[in-house]
Amino acid sequence: MFAKTFGVASLLALSLAVPALAQEVNIYTTREPGLIQPILDAFTAETGVTVNTVFLENGLIERVQAEGESSPADILMTVDFGALIDLVNAGVTQPVQSDVLEEAIPAALRDADGNWFALSGRARVVYAAKDLALDSITYEQLADEEWKGRLCIRSGQHPYNTAMFAAYMAKHGEEASKTWLEGIKANQARAAAGGDRDGARDIAAGICDIAVANSYYYGLMTSGAGGEEQKAWADEVKVILPTFEGGGTLVNVSGAAVAAHAPNRDEAVQLLEYLASEEAQKLYAEANFEHPVNASADVHPIIGEIGELNVDSMALTEILPFRQRASELVDEVNFDTFEN
């Protein structure tokens, strides 16, 4: 009926007049979009696929569950490995089988069933006053009385710290972990709060001598990406790669998963494959000063100058079961309450 009414020529003209649907992919992310925007812009420039980001500081799982099958989310991106597992356990992801991803990302840094993929690594390091006679330290020594009133750290409930605390518990047990947390609390120079860059700021101000932070923040400050004020903070500190006794440095990962009801699944997989590519991993290193998960990509020179990273051998999956109890211990010792 349609063809009889309009004719073949009319149909052809009509089809040519209707523009093709624009390709897009939607990311729900708990990491600041600005940190990865240069990489997303490069992806769009190369593929023509528009990337839309929604930043959710909290409530990512709840948002996706509430939206249900009508959710526009294609990719779910987090700043913490534990949060990736939470997505899978909540049933808001779907498996992806991709030879590209499997070749680029080591097996230990992706889900065996393809439900999540690590995209970058961040070492949990120690910032120290530049003139401090300190060249090495273990995570265990952060609780030593030597540092009483001299240590700065962000909230104990932040994922960066709960991951570190859970790793400690996996190695030393619950009782020793509680004692260790009490020791770190006693060593605080001010309330456990703020961000990792604030540790460098407070060292520069003479409030503390050491601070616990992620490695990439040092790169952001040193490069001037955070402005001249933050560059001045970085000039006052040196970075030490701590290790666990008998082990290595804790490295957490950011990563992503394809949403269970992704309306643009093909584009989502395409973006994940791009993010794992040598090109994008190089951009990660240049833009965010993070450690690439793709072994073909080099770390940024600023991060490389910190020293050779000896990653702790304990798998992230071994740490995960202790995360909840570590979080509970933070509250039990009133970690974030400052007491002179």
CA-CA distance, 76 to 61, in Å (whole number)?
9
Q: Per-domain residue ranges for the chain?
A: 2-120+251-300, 122-249+308-332
Report how far Cα 138 is from the mean position of its chain's Cα atoms. Answer: 22
DSSP annotation string for 8-59? HHHHHHHHHHSPPPPPEEEEEESS-HHHHHHHHHHHHHHH--EEEEEE-SS-
DSSP annotation string for 92-110? -EE----HHHHHHS-GGGB
Largest CA distance in the chain: 89
Number of helical H runs and strand E runs in the chain: 15, 10
The answer, yes or no, to whether residue 132 has pLDDT greater than 80, is yes
pLDDT band at residue 16 using 50, 70 and 90 as cut-offs? very low
Short-list 176, 162, 202, 108, CA closest to 322: 162
The binding site consists of 216-217
Task: Give the chain's length.
Answer: 340
Q: What is the pTM of this model?
A: 0.81
The answer, yes or no, to whether residue 129 has pLDDT greater than 50, is yes
Q: What are phi and psi of 68, to 5 degrees?
A: 60, -145
Cα-Cα end-to-end distance for the chain: 84
pLDDT band at residue 108 using 50, 70 and 90 as cut-offs? confident
Helix (H) or strand (E) holding 268: helix 265-275
The answer, yes or no, to whether residue 339 has pLDDT greater than 80, is yes
Task: Give Cβ neighbours of residue 327 (< 8 Å, ≥ 6 apart).
Answer: 157, 162, 165
**Is the CATH number of domain 2-120+251-300 3.40.50.300?**
no
State the average pLDDT for the chain: 91
The binding site for Fe cation consists of 216-217
pLDDT band at residue 22 using 50, 70 and 90 as cut-offs? low
- Please give the CATH superfamily to which domain 122-249+308-332 belongs: Periplasmic binding protein-like II (3.40.190.10)
Q: Residue 207 has what pLDDT?
A: 98
CA-CA distance, 144 to 188, in Å (whole number)?
11
Which of 8-17, 28-37, 130-139 shows the lowest mean pLDDT across its residues?
8-17
Q: Residue 21 has what pLDDT?
A: 52
**How many CB atoms are located within 10 Å of the residue 32 CB?**
12
Tens digit of each residue's pLDDT (9 = 90 or more) over 159-181: 899 999 999 999 999 999 999 99
Whether 2-120+251-300 shares its CATH topology with 122-249+308-332 is answered yes
Q: Residue 235 has what pLDDT?
A: 97
The answer to whether the Cα torsion of 267, 52, 273, 79 is positive or negative is: negative
SS3 228: helix
Tens digit of each residue's pLDDT (9 = 90 or more) over 49-67: 999 999 998 899 999 999 9
pLDDT band at residue 117 using 50, 70 and 90 as cut-offs? very high
Residue 109 or 98, more confident: 98
Tens digit of each residue's pLDDT (9 = 90 or more) over 281-320: 998 888 889 999 998 998 999 999 999 999 898 888 889 8
Tens digit of each residue's pLDDT (9 = 90 or more) over 259-288: 999 999 999 999 999 999 999 999 888 888
Q: Which residues pair with 60 in a beta bridge?
A: none
Q: Residue 35 has what pLDDT?
A: 77
Contact of 303 with 289, CB cutoff 8 Å: yes
Short-list 33, 252, 61, CA closest to 162: 252
Q: Residue 227 has what pLDDT?
A: 94
Residue 241 or 320, more confident: 241
Helix (H) or strand (E) holding 221: helix 215-222
The answer, yes or no, to whether residue 122 has pLDDT greater than 70, is yes
∠324-330-335 over CA atoms, to 5°? 165
